[in-house]
Amino acid sequence: MKNCILVLLILYSTSAISQSPCKITYIANEGFLIKIDDKKILIDALFGGFDGNWCDKPNDDTKSKLERAVSPFDNVDIIAISHKHQDHFNAEMVIKHIINNPKCIIVCPKQTDSLLKSYSNYEMIKNIIIAITPAINRDTSLKIKNINIRILRLEHSHYYIQDEVTGLKVNKHENIENIGFVINVGGINLFHCGDANPWKEEEYRIFNLNKERIDIALLENLFMNDSQTKEILNNYINPKNIILMHFEPSNAQKLKEAVRRLKRTYSNVYVFKKSMKYKNIEIIKSLETE
């Protein structure tokens, strides 16, 4: 009897382990459908319909399913949009999806909301849009349908062009409002950085995602560029699983090399090569049983 009590005491003092699956479907570029428990979130997924081959785009069938909000894009709870660029956001597609799924909530920067405002259907959908642009180096938190969302202001990566008047090099993306999302569903933390600038150490030091225990980080592939960005990744994000995104489809070699380099530090690195492929990631959670 004494032995039995001892065994029970040991069991109760040890943390129990539970596993939760997270299904991640790659749409294109930085667009994903995330499914955890009964929640569905689309991030940067409703885009397409433009020329250019610098990124993957949803094909006509996927685009139509996204607009009609049919399986697997039915009953989406949240549409998160990092910024207004056309390889992340298409206002018409977002409006069509919402008309077919009026229960979902949109979270986006104010600049992105301004583009939606120019559509005649805006009055119909404005109540389900949460437009937030935190100030530089600031963040804010929301709870929507039992999903916790931390919104981080992250500088858009730089892109230099020559100013026609002055001849000086200027950062074309300087005024783009880009936000990152830390999404928590049922204890699983997922980080999506949008088109963040991975060299902006100050931001990652301030937000210190390392403290939050990031289970899955969806990262702009520029994070793999050099030792400085990898140090930022190690010190301030330190995710358990990494999905790299934002590759030029023609640059398969760069993709292969990036993964190989990263695997020296992180064993759980994934890159999707085809739209609508998915991956189930098991997240082991420790449950305190005091």
Tell me how far, at minimum, the Cβ of 107 lies from Zn ion, in Å. Answer: 17
Residue 283 in contact with residue 183, Cβ under 8 Å? no
φ/ψ bin of 276: left (φ > 0), alpha (ψ from -120 to 50), beta (otherwise): left
Q: Identify the CA nearest to 204 among candidates 177, 244, 239.
A: 239
Nearer to Zn ion, 120 or 175 (CB): 175
b/e map 184-214, b = 16+ CB within 10 Å: bbebbbbbbbbbbbbbbeebbeebebeeeeb
Nearer to Zn ion, 97 or 246 (CB): 246
Tell me how far, at minimum, the Cβ of 113 lies from Zn ion, in Å. Answer: 16
Nearer to Zn ion, 44 or 67 (CB): 44
Nearer to Zn ion, 196 or 232 (CB): 196
Nearer to Zn ion, 35 or 156 (CB): 156
- Chain centroid to Cα 110, Å, comes to 18
Tell me how far, at minimum, the Cβ of 156 lies from Zn ion, in Å. Answer: 6
Tell me how far, at minimum, the Cβ of 83 lies from Zn ion, in Å. Answer: 6
Burial of 99 by CB count in 10 Å (0-12 exposed, 13-18 middle, 19+ buried)?
A: middle
DSSP string, 84-98: --TTT--HHHHHHHH
Where does this chain bind Zn ion (CB under 5 A)? 85, 195
Tell me how far, at minimum, the Cβ of 186 lies from Zn ion, in Å. Answer: 30
Instruction: Match 């991640």 to its residue by tokens.
Output: 24
